[in-house]
C-alpha cells in the first residue's frame, strides 16, 4: 500500500474545512443591496422556480397587502414588499429553516396567511419551497407565457390564482370583487373592469397594485380570452 504524505493530507484537510466554512457563510444570506435580476434572455426551465415569475406574485397578493405585510402595516415588524425584505425571512438554500416557508406550511392558528384567508395552495407552497432550496435568487425567465394557444384552465385561472386571488377571494374581497372562480372572473371581464385595471387605463384602479403590472403576453392572453367569448375551457 502506498504511504499518504502528511503535507498533502494537511493541504487536503485545510481546503475541505475552508470549503465547508464558505458554504455555511453563503447559507447565512445577508440581505444587502437589491440585486438586479438576471437578463431577460434567460429561457424558462421547467425545473426552476423563479422569484419574479413565480414567487413574488404569490407574496404580493397573499402577504404584502394592506393590513398585513405592506410597508405601512408591517404586521409583526415584517414587510414583504421587496426582494430584500422577503430575504430577511429566508435562509437561501434551506426552506425548512426559513421563516417564510415555515409560516405557510403551519396547520395551527399561526399559519400564514391567517384564517379566514385561505391557505396557499399545495402548488404555491411548492414554488416557494423550490425557490428557497434553489438558492432564493432574484431571478426571472422568459418564454413561459404563450398568447397564441392557451385555455382558461391552463393560463387565465393560474394567472388569477397567483397574482390576484389573495386580494380577491370571499374572505378578502378587494373592491367587492371575487376572482377565485370562473363566474367572478367572467363578471369583471364582461363589465370592462378586468381589462381596464390590468391595462392600467385611466378611470380604473391599476391592478395588481404597487407597480406589479402584468407582462404584455399576460395582458394579451386576457384580452384574447375575452374577445374569444370568455370560455370556461
d(CA 180, CA 161): 7
Residue 73 Cα to chain centre, angstroms: 20
Q: x/- binding map, residues 145-164, to ligand HEC, per CB under 6 A?
A: ------------------xx
Q: Which of 87, 128, 177, 189 binds ligand HEC (CB under 6 A)?
A: 177
Q: How many other C-beta atoms can be found within 10 angstroms of the C-beta atom of residue 166?
A: 28
Cis peptide before 45 (omega within 30 of 0): no
Provide, rounded to whole angstroms, the least separation between the CB of residue 61 and ligand HEC: 3
State which of residues 137, 144, 193, 224 lies at the interface with ligand HEC (CB under 6 A). 193
Asked whether position 188 contacts ligand HEC by CB under 6 A, the answer is yes
Which of the stretches 88-96, 127-135, 140-148, 168-176 binds ligand HEC when contact is defined by CB under 6 A?
168-176
Distance separating alpha carbons of residues 38 and 43, to the nearest angstrom? 11
Residue 55 to residue 158: CA distance in whole angstroms: 13
* Interaction of residue 168 with ligand HEC, rule CB under 6 A: yes
197 lines the binding site for ligand HEC (CB under 6 A): yes
Q: Which is nearer to ligand HEC, 205 or 233 (CB)?
A: 205
CA distance 128 to 150: 25
Binding status of residue 175 toward ligand HEC by CB under 6 A: yes
Cell of 6: 502528511
Instruction: Give the residues lining the site for ligand HEC (CB under 6 A).
Output: 60-61, 65, 163-164, 166-168, 174-175, 177, 179, 188, 193-194, 197-198, 204-205, 207-209, 214
Amino acid at each position: 500500500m502506498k504511504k499518504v504524505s502528511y503535507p498533502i493530507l494537511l493541504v487536503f484537510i485545510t481546503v475541505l474545512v475552508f470549503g465547508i466554512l464558505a458554504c455555511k457563510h453563503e447559507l447565512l444570506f445577508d440581505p444587502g443591496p437589491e440585486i438586479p435580476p438576471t437578463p431577460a434572455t434567460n429561457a424558462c426551465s421547467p425545473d426552476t422556480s423563479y422569484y419574479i415569475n413565480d414567487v413574488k406574485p404569490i407574496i404580493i397578493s397573499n402577504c404584502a397587502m394592506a393590513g398585513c405585510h405592506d410597508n405601512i402595516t408591517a404586521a409583526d415588524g415584517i414587510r414583504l414588499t421587496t426582494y430584500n425584505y422577503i430575504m430577511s425571512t429566508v435562509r437561501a438554500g434551506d426552506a425548512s429553516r426559513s421563516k417564510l416557508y415555515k409560516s405557510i406550511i403551519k396547520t395551527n392558528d399561526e399559519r400564514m396567511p391567517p384564517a379566514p384567508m385561505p391557505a396557499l395552495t399545495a402548488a404555491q407552497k411548492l414554488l416557494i419551497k423550490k425557490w428557497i432550496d434553489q438558492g432564493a435568487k432574484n431571478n426571472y425567465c422568459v418564454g413561459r407565457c404563450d398568447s397564441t394557444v392557451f385555455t382558461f384552465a391552463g393560463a387565465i385561472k393560474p394567472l388569477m390564482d397567483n397574482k390576484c386571488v389573495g386580494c380577491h377571494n370571499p374572505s378578502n374581497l378587494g373592491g367587492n370583487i371575487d376572482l377565485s372562480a370562473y363566474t367572478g372572473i367572467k363578471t369583471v371581464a364582461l363589465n370592462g373592469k378586468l381589462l381596464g385595471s390590468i391595462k392600467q387605463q385611466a378611470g380604473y384602479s391599476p391592478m395588481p397594485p404597487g407597480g406589479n403590472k402584468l407582462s404584455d403576453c399576460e395582458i394579451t392572453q386576457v384580452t384574447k380570452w375575452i374577445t374569444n367569448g370568455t370560455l370556461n375551457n
